[in-house]
Amino acid sequence: MSRKNKQKLELTWIGKENRPKLEPRILLEDPSRSYHASHRVKPDARPGEPGFPSDLFDNRLIFGDNLLALKALEAEFTGKVKCVYIDPPFNTGQAFDHYEDGLEHSLWLSLMRDRLELLRALLSSDGTLWIHLDDNEVHYLKVVMDEMFGRECFVSAIAWRAADSSNNDAKQFSIDHNTILVYSREPGWLSRTLPRTDEANAHYKNPDNDPRGPWFMGNVSSPHPREKLQYDMPTPSGKQIPHPHNGWRWSLDLARKKIAAGQIVFVDDETRIIHKTYLADQKGLAPSSIWHDIKQTGHNRQAKYELKKLFPDKPTTELFSTPKPERLIERVLRIATKEGDWVLDSFAGSGTTGAVAHKMGRQWIMVERGDHCHEFIDPRLRKVIGGQDKGGVTDATDWKGGGGFRYYNLAPSLLEKDRWGNWVISKEYNAEMLTEALCKLEGFAYAPSETEYWRHGHSTERDFIYVTTQPLTRDMLAKLSDEVGDDCTLLVMCKSFRGKASFPNLTVKKIPNAVMAKCEWGQDDYSLEIRNLPEPEPSADDEQANTSPGKTKVLRGKRKPKPSSGNEEPTLFPATEGSSKAKASGAKGARR
């Protein structure tokens, strides 16, 4: 079989080929919800210095659909996020009772795949993605992740003990653990070591009063067969110690140096050697893939207790059923990040990831669309910033308070339908919002110039974009071309222009016509909630079966047709232009 015709190993499912055409929304800060400490703890502190963790103010809490939010972050944060930790809704199947077996997995995988593709793009070259799952979908998603990231980027499947006691009422097994899949953005990722523990250090002894301190017997054989290392070891009395099957761990020259330094010693009868591995030389512990010590990584019930202490007035029934403890997130961030790194959680839940990242001096982004964004996350972070959160990892991180976060909403869709069903610019957009949105859509960085009215953004040092709702004439374009000059190029996005515009340094596009086919407009909710999933439709066989006496209705899960992509003749504004925002022209200045 030729290389071209070789098939790749992949997991297929219903609807895998369907992908949403996401609109890259802009983010609107709500200053009334943003929150900052009243002062800086140490204004001039840098990463690694005392006071640095307290003074991170540019963290981001985004309220809205997480798929749209990730798309909104793409332009600014691609390649910048060091660690993504997500705890998505587990697919228990209960939400899919009306779908035949197997389709529930397809829907869940499609929803997750779309988000994971964006998350992967946001990761830095040395970044990692941590996905917290249970047994319902972890094995399916492992295959999908291998396909997306490459099997060489799979790091580990961590078994975390989620329950502090087993369920003795279980009929088969008491399921006491969750799995955290870990993938790196690029192959060859190296983890950060964990602090050493008394338990780990207990293996080191000093029976011979070695001046270098405690040691233990390290491995002396090569992990792989190496012919050059298969020599017999000479002893002080002239004997020869046969090499291990694969050979020694060092060359003969290096072994002699270690003997001279006292790192390799011979037993009394010179039949074997001892290699001393010193505690003083150990820098930390390599993380294990089994996190069973609930004192170190917590458990679900402890996490619920932490929430109850933060929100004593909330009934226990209103708290999250399986929140994640702060100690668990601390372990993840110690392995994957250092101070100042960006951490992202697009399924923020109760806000544990952001709270722990804040206490550890990491910059964070969290996304949440549910009411708990305002009922739990916002007040929780305010307590962290104000130094009022005394639980979790507060003592372990020596957290005293400080810093802040900015609160953002997703902007509405750029286009909306008027009363006749035509796509037009949304009445909620003013000139600055329109300019920033079009910059994102066309791949330009939004950066309005204070001196040149036509420089609203740039894609390179010499390629710019200009957005205006004014109709342009040929004379106006000719003047604009002269101002731009021969060394630069300009994309002009305008309501309309008269005459033929043929200028070598200008590209003219009409809005909204030029962007109509780029996205799904007016779609605000891509969430994993069952109410947003496609409604199943009965097949012909089902219709016949359902008319028979005694037959139970079965829905086969056929997707509904997608809404129109907007092939209607577009216009710029509705016929009734009552909003001054919609009449804005010639956007200038920064919106935020």
Do 484 and 363 share a structural domain?
A: no
At how many degrees (to 10) do helices 300-310 and 326-336 cross?
A: 110
- Structural domain contains residue 572: no
Q: What six digits make up the tokens of 578?
A: 């009552």
Q: What six digits make up the tokens of 334?
A: 């110690």
Q: What does the pLDDT look like over 23-38, one tens digit per residue?
A: 999 999 999 999 998 7
Alpha carbons 527 and 125: distance in angstroms, whole number? 28
- Structural domain contains residue 590: no
Do 72 and 162 share a structural domain?
A: yes
Q: Is 60 exposed, middle or buried (0-12, 13-18, 19+ CB in 10 A)?
A: buried
**H or E segment and range at residue 66:** helix 66-77
Before 315, cis peptide (omega within 30)?
no
Do 494 and 422 share a structural domain?
A: yes
8 A C-beta contact, residue 559 and residue 15: yes
* Strand runs labelled E in 301-454: 342-345, 363-368, 404-410, 415-417, 423-425, 445-446
Residue 53 has pLDDT above 80, yes or no: no
Which residues constitute the domain of residue 447? 415-515
pLDDT of residue 6: 63
Alpha carbons 160 and 173: distance in angstroms, whole number? 16
- Structural domain contains residue 77: yes
b/e sequence 125-138, b meaning 16+ C-beta within 10 Å? eebbbbbbbeeebb
Residue 591 has pLDDT above 90, yes or no: no
DSSP secondary structure code for residue 9 in this structure = P
> Which of 515, 535, 557 is the last residue before a domain boundary?
515
pLDDT band with cut points at 50, 70 and 90 for residue 544:
low
Q: What does the pLDDT look like over 345-404, one tens digit per residue?
A: 999 999 999 999 999 999 999 999 988 899 999 999 999 999 999 999 999 999 989 999
- Structural domain contains residue 15: no
8 A C-beta contact, residue 82 and residue 75: no
Amino acid at 243: H
Residues with Cβ within 8 Å of 95's Cβ and at least 6 positions away in sequence, in order, are 104, 529, 530, 533
Do 380 and 243 share a structural domain?
A: no
Paired sense of beta strands 363-368 and 59-63, if any: parallel
> Which of 515, 537, 572 is the last residue before a domain boundary?
515
Residue 145 has pLDDT above 90, yes or no: yes
- Structural domain contains residue 6: no
Q: Is 153 exposed, middle or buried (0-12, 13-18, 19+ CB in 10 A)?
A: buried
Q: Between 570 and 157, whose confidence is greater?
A: 157
Do 156 and 240 share a structural domain?
A: no
8 A C-beta contact, residue 162 and residue 33: no
Do 391 and 264 share a structural domain?
A: no
Q: Give the three-class secondary structure for 366.
A: strand
Please give the model's pTM, rounded to 2 decimal places: 0.81
Residue 579 has pLDDT above 90, yes or no: no
Q: Between 53 and 179, whose confidence is greater?
A: 179
Candidates 119, 58, 64, 71; CA nearest to 437 is 71
Q: What six digits make up the tokens of 248?
A: 């020694």
pLDDT of residue 198: 87
| Residue 376: Cβ within 10 Å count | 25
Q: What does the pLDDT look like over 465-477, one tens digit per residue?
A: 999 999 999 999 9
400-426 mean pLDDT: 94
Residue 288 has pLDDT above 60, yes or no: yes
pLDDT band with cut points at 50, 70 and 90 for residue 55:
low
Domains of the chain: total: 3
Do 484 and 347 share a structural domain?
A: no
Average pLDDT taken over every residue of the chain: 85
Return the sign of the alpha-carbon dihedral for residues 5, 9, 13, 15. negative
Q: What does the pLDDT look like over 487-534, one tens digit per residue?
A: 999 999 998 887 776 899 999 999 999 999 999 999 999 876 544 555
- Structural domain contains residue 120: yes
> Which of 483, 515, 547 is the last residue before a domain boundary?
515
Q: What is the CATH number of the domain that holds 340?
A: 3.40.50.150
8 A C-beta contact, residue 264 and residue 278: no
Q: What does the pLDDT look like over 292-347, one tens digit per residue?
A: 998 899 888 888 888 888 888 888 777 777 789 999 999 999 999 999 999 999 99
Do 360 and 216 share a structural domain?
A: no
131-139 mean pLDDT: 92
| Residue 63: Cβ within 10 Å count | 21
* Alpha-carbon separation of residue 295 from 201, 292, 327 (angstroms): 18, 9, 9
Do 36 and 171 share a structural domain?
A: yes
Q: What does the pLDDT look like over 80-122, one tens digit per residue?
A: 999 999 998 876 555 444 444 455 788 889 999 999 999 999 9
* Strand runs labelled E in 448-556: 457-458, 463-467, 471-472, 489-494, 496-497, 506-510
Q: Between 139 and 5, whose confidence is greater?
A: 139
Do 312 and 175 share a structural domain?
A: yes
Do 298 and 183 share a structural domain?
A: yes
Q: What does the pLDDT look like over 225-268, one tens digit per residue?
A: 999 999 999 999 999 999 999 999 999 999 999 999 999 999 99
Do 338 and 440 share a structural domain?
A: no
Residue 575 has pLDDT above 60, yes or no: no
Q: What six digits make up the tokens of 78?
A: 């691609």
- Structural domain contains residue 553: no
Residue 582 has pLDDT above 50, yes or no: no
- Structural domain contains residue 381: yes
In DSSP terms, 416 is beta-bridged to 424
